[in-house]
Amino acid sequence: MEIAKTYNHTESEKRLYSQWMQKGFFKSTPDGREPYTIVIPPPNVTGVLHMGHMLNNTIQDVLVRKARMEGKNACWVPGTDHASIATEAKVVAMLKDMGINKTDIGREEFLKYAMQWKDKYGGIILEQLKTLGASCDWDRTSFTMDEGYYQAVIDVFIDLYNKGQIYRGTRMVNWDPKGLTAVSDEEVLHKEVNSKLYFVKYPIAEIEGEYITIATTRPETILGDTAVCVHPDDERYKHLAGKHAVIPMVNRKVPIIFDTYIDLEFGTGALKVTPAHDINDYNLGIKHNLEVIDTLTPEGKLSEAAGFYIGQDRFAVRKQIAIDLEAQGLLVKVEDIKNKVGYSERTDAVIEPKLSMQWFLKMDTVSKPALDNVLNGEVKLIPEKFINTYKHWMENVHDWCISRQLWWGHRIPAWYGPNGKTVVCKTAQEAVALFAAQNITVTEAELRQDEDVLDTWFSSWLWPIAVFDPTIFGKEDKTGNADLQYYYPTNDLVTAPEILFFWVARMIIAGYEYIDKKPFSNVYLTGIVRDKQGRKMSKSLGNSPDPLDLITQYGADSVRVGMLLSSPAGNDLMFDEALCKQGSMFGHKLWNAFRLIKGWEVDDSKTQSEASKTACDWFENRFNEEVANLSDLYSKYRMSEVLMSVYKLAWDDFCSWFLEMVKPPFGEKIDKVTYDKTVELFEGLLKVLHPFMPFITEEIWHTLKERGEDEYIIVAEYPKIIKTNSTLITEFALFEGIVSNVRNIRKEKNISPKETLELAIKGAKDGLSQSWLDLITKLCNLSAINFVTEGLQGMPSFVAGSFECFVPITIEVNAEEELKKLTADLDYTMGFLKSVQAKLANERFVANAKPEAVESERKKEADANAKIKLLEEQIGALK
């Protein structure tokens, strides 16, 4: 069979993925095996694959594939999130392009458009994951607004409401004037910006001609001021006790209040108080019983209540009012200032603190088990440094504002009857009954359902439970269906640290609240993907490569390797396309190793040489040694180190050493034993590589030898840890030392690799068997190895282990240079010996250090002495 000179990833990946699908290898149903479960962090249903997805899904796939090969029942549940704000914004924009206004068509009609949009663009990202090789059980694909899931969310709301954990109240919320909705604290990004600090004079009502000067960055809110506040200890303002200030423009007389909240140093020490538009002012307002005047419309324009600039945007008013105040002689000065301004994560609009009626979830009691079980290690965060952050957040958690003024999402199951009475239940029919129980008579038609939907995270926090059993919520019995019992708690969660609070913490809360069990055992927090200059990858910077382009160009395996070559857990990773290149070169290397082996002709009658046997034994041991090491690295989630170890095992140990050792001379055939063993060893290598490079390993696996119908590497048995023979490893080290020394001499003396050399070894043969000597002969292209009793004067030499080696050559040797080299080596060794001896001469070292440490120093001393002796002999001979 003709094997292509280069591996065609495009053709191969497509074919193999559909074979895997067809064979049902990704599919999982409960059985007697140990389960291994991961639920995907559901991407936005209308999102597209970005580098962050690539990273965490590659890691998940590596974990899942390894678990599957280890014989576990591996289940990776995929799905998407409805992402209310983001998706609604996209649909609104689309409708706008069609000349349709959301409010004109109404809720029902809007949701139809939204569903159409979701059906059209939703799930693109899941298709993209397939090109990456993600081995998800696609039959289990979930969506947070699937019928069952939708009901689960509603059940949870009702249940928590009935438990008294959910309440409705007027609160200062973060209002997004662009998205026209409240957003949670976590969805507000604070950025430092250059602002202006306006100093404005407010006349004192009781004292003609006297003013109090306040400083503000938001002068447009002056119209909503209902007090001026100063510090009770502030000497400058003590005489104003009981007096009133007059708000400019609106001429409202407001009290001057005293509160220690005030910072004496800032501005003028006098604060204008606008309870409707500032959280601190709001709190002051409650404390001092102040009037609340809401001067903003939901769109961020000045409202009727403002009295002036009605209908104008708040930022336009900010400029205008400064001009108008100046004209009235009330603007004292304007200073430049840097301050933090909140922006909406979703729409990038400047957040306005605004009073509104919202639904909240009490967090104090429900979060308790979620905190405890992370602190006690029941749920592990990797890396551990995130435990501190988590703890801090959980201990200072605020009530969660869960309502959003949107239509795309789970509509709040609250019903309003006459007199503003509220009941919470699934249907209008039930609501009527609930009202009836309170002796209130209403008809379904008279009821009004709450217009708002729930925060997206209020649905995704149920993800690890709801994807298996969406019907469990609010039931007495927390056992759940067969899937839930089998797969829950899941094993690993792989996600970005950015959503530790949004999502991870809340899933843990939901887990303990509804199942009394953790949702997962380990949370692997990946880093943020940055470009090589360390900048965060973003659309606006245009520094993010399109992952699909990368896959097209380099192949999925290469991109996976590229991502993982540089991704320590929890640390950001600097992505460089060159790493994908490195990945594809590695694939090329494997392909060539495969071509070499496949190209060998087997001679059944030939017996295996001792040298080949030694080579096979050595690599087998080396491989086993590495399997143990990999297992250790995996257990610590050090993915890039696992990959790098496998990389070196394949490239250096297998290709550069092993294959060269067993390779038959040109024109000769290979014996069957060695050939079969080589194939077997290569298979082992492919297995440990498979989680990282699923496609090329599967491709080689099938072409390497005849396979049965269902014999795929994806389900092959992962190599087990086997005790290694350390003698072979030590012997190899000596062998390697001799080979590279000879190569060095070749290089230094400019001797072509084709020209054969001789090697003379002074001393006994102990330590290296004939097969190792044969291998040295082969790899160094020697004509002979001779054991001698006297050193070869004037010939290039080196010391390896306890061997003194010489390479007799006809080319003239520069004795001076040789001498210099040996002297340098001697100097180093003597210096080393001196430091060792100094240490041993130190009584306190011998007395205090561990016995092993002292013993090791003595061995060093002996070795150094032996080496010095050899070197001195050689130097003596040269002179």
Residues 549-568 that bind RNA (CB under 7 A): 565-566, 568
Q: Are 46 and 90 in contact (CB under 8 A)?
A: yes
Binders of RNA among residues 628 to 647 (CB under 7 A) are 640-641, 644, 647
Cite the DSSP H helix spans in 351-407: 367-375, 386-395
Q: Pairing mode, if any, of strands 227-230 and 252-258?
A: parallel
Q: Are 306 and 295 in contact (CB under 8 A)?
A: yes
CB of 554 to RNA, least distance (A): 9
CB of 659 to RNA, least distance (A): 4
163 versus 190: smaller Cβ distance to RNA: 190
Part in contact with RNA (CB under 7 A); list of ranges 269-277, 443-451, 539-547, 606-614: 269-277
426 versus 588: smaller Cβ distance to RNA: 588
The CB-side HSE value for 871 (13 A sphere, CA atoms) comes to: 21
283 versus 521: smaller Cβ distance to RNA: 283
What gap in Å lies between CA 623 and CA 29, rounded to an integer?
Answer: 34
What gap in Å lies between CA 728 and CA 620, rounded to an integer?
Answer: 10
Part in contact with RNA (CB under 7 A); list of ranges 216-224, 327-335, 695-703, 868-876: 216-224
Residue 802 makes contact with RNA by CB under 7 A: no
Part in contact with RNA (CB under 7 A); list of ranges 71-79, 445-453, 457-465, 577-585: 577-585
Residue 269 makes contact with RNA by CB under 7 A: yes
What gap in Å lies between CA 429 and CA 204, rounded to an integer?
Answer: 59
Residue 853 makes contact with RNA by CB under 7 A: yes
* 523 to 542: interface string for RNA, x by CB under 7 A: ---------x-x-x------
- Beta partners for residue 415, in sequence order: 423, 449
Part in contact with RNA (CB under 7 A); list of ranges 141-149, 185-193, 482-490, 537-545: 185-193
SS3 339: strand
**615 CB-near residues (< 8 Å, 6+ apart):** 658, 661, 662, 775
Task: Please give the helix or strand (H or E) that residue 804 lies within, else none.
Answer: strand 803-806
Residue 844 makes contact with RNA by CB under 7 A: yes
Binders of RNA among residues 389 to 418 (CB under 7 A) are 389, 392-393, 396, 398
Residue with tokens 């050689």: 874
Residue 618 makes contact with RNA by CB under 7 A: no
Which of 349, 428, 602, 849 is close enough to bind RNA by CB under 7 A?
849
Residue 218 makes contact with RNA by CB under 7 A: yes
CB of 505 to RNA, least distance (A): 11
246 by Cβ neighbours in 10 Å (0-12 / 13-18 / 19+) ranks as: middle
Which of 168, 178, 380, 589 is close enough to bind RNA by CB under 7 A?
589
Structure tokens at 422: 């509220």
Binders of RNA among residues 187 to 206 (CB under 7 A) are 190
Which of 211, 343, 634, 651 is close enough to bind RNA by CB under 7 A?
651
SS3 258: strand
Residue 280 makes contact with RNA by CB under 7 A: yes
Part in contact with RNA (CB under 7 A); list of ranges 30-38, 160-168, 308-316, 382-390: 382-390
Residue 213 makes contact with RNA by CB under 7 A: no
Residue 593 makes contact with RNA by CB under 7 A: yes
**96 CB-near residues (< 8 Å, 6+ apart):** none
Residue 811 makes contact with RNA by CB under 7 A: no
What gap in Å lies between CA 449 and CA 419, rounded to an integer?
Answer: 14
**467 CB-near residues (< 8 Å, 6+ apart):** 39, 77, 79, 140, 142
485 versus 856: smaller Cβ distance to RNA: 856
**616 CB-near residues (< 8 Å, 6+ apart):** 662, 674, 677, 678, 681
CB of 413 to RNA, least distance (A): 28
| φ/ψ (deg, to 5) at 211 | -130, 160
Binders of RNA among residues 681 to 740 (CB under 7 A) are 739-740
Per DSSP, the residues of 553-568 read HH-HHHHHHHHHTT--
CA angle 521, 527, 530 (to 5 degrees): 160
Residue with tokens 């001896």: 837
Residue 267 makes contact with RNA by CB under 7 A: yes
430 versus 736: smaller Cβ distance to RNA: 736
Binders of RNA among residues 458 to 497 (CB under 7 A) are 497
Residue 175 makes contact with RNA by CB under 7 A: no
Residue 109 makes contact with RNA by CB under 7 A: no
Residue 427 makes contact with RNA by CB under 7 A: no
Question: Which among 487, 355, 511 has a CA at the least distance from the CA of 37?
Answer: 487
Residue 842 makes contact with RNA by CB under 7 A: yes
Residue 823 makes contact with RNA by CB under 7 A: no
- How many chain residues are in contact with RNA, going by CB under 7 A? 96
Which of 867, 870, 871, 878 is close enough to bind RNA by CB under 7 A?
867
- Compute the Cα dihedral for 703, 709, 713, 716 and give only its sign: negative
Cite the DSSP H helix spans in 751-850: 770-780, 815-841, 843-848
19 versus 837: smaller Cβ distance to RNA: 837
Residue 343 makes contact with RNA by CB under 7 A: no
Cite the DSSP H helix spans in 666-814: 672-689, 694-704, 726-748, 770-780
261 versus 315: smaller Cβ distance to RNA: 261
Which of 227, 262, 616, 813 is close enough to bind RNA by CB under 7 A?
262
* C-alpha dist (Å) from residue 569 to 381, 490, 529, 538, 681: 11, 20, 12, 21, 31
Which of 101, 116, 162, 339 is close enough to bind RNA by CB under 7 A?
339
Part in contact with RNA (CB under 7 A); list of ranges 119-127, 537-545, 650-658, 676-684: 650-658
380 versus 839: smaller Cβ distance to RNA: 839
CB of 509 to RNA, least distance (A): 17
Q: Pairing mode, if any, of strands 400-401 and 448-449?
A: unpaired
What gap in Å lies between CA 804 and CA 787, rounded to an integer?
Answer: 10
762 versus 867: smaller Cβ distance to RNA: 867
| φ/ψ (deg, to 5) at 821 | -60, -50
For residue 383, cis peptide bond before it (omega within 30 degrees of 0): yes
Per DSSP, the residues of 407-435 read SSS-B--EEE-GGG-EEE-SSHHHHHHHH
Question: Which among 711, 643, 645 has a CA at the least distance from the CA of 683?
Answer: 711
Binders of RNA among residues 739 to 758 (CB under 7 A) are 739-740, 743-744, 746-747, 750, 752-754
CB of 559 to RNA, least distance (A): 14
Structure tokens at 111: 């949701």
Which of 584, 624, 797, 874 is close enough to bind RNA by CB under 7 A?
584
Binders of RNA among residues 56 to 95 (CB under 7 A) are none
Which of 860, 868, 875, 877 is close enough to bind RNA by CB under 7 A?
860
Which of 436, 585, 721, 733 is close enough to bind RNA by CB under 7 A?
585
CB of 230 to RNA, least distance (A): 8
Residue 186 makes contact with RNA by CB under 7 A: yes
16 versus 565: smaller Cβ distance to RNA: 565
CB of 371 to RNA, least distance (A): 15
Which of 164, 242, 599, 851 is close enough to bind RNA by CB under 7 A?
599
* 497 to 526: interface string for RNA, x by CB under 7 A: xx--x-------------------------
CB of 496 to RNA, least distance (A): 10
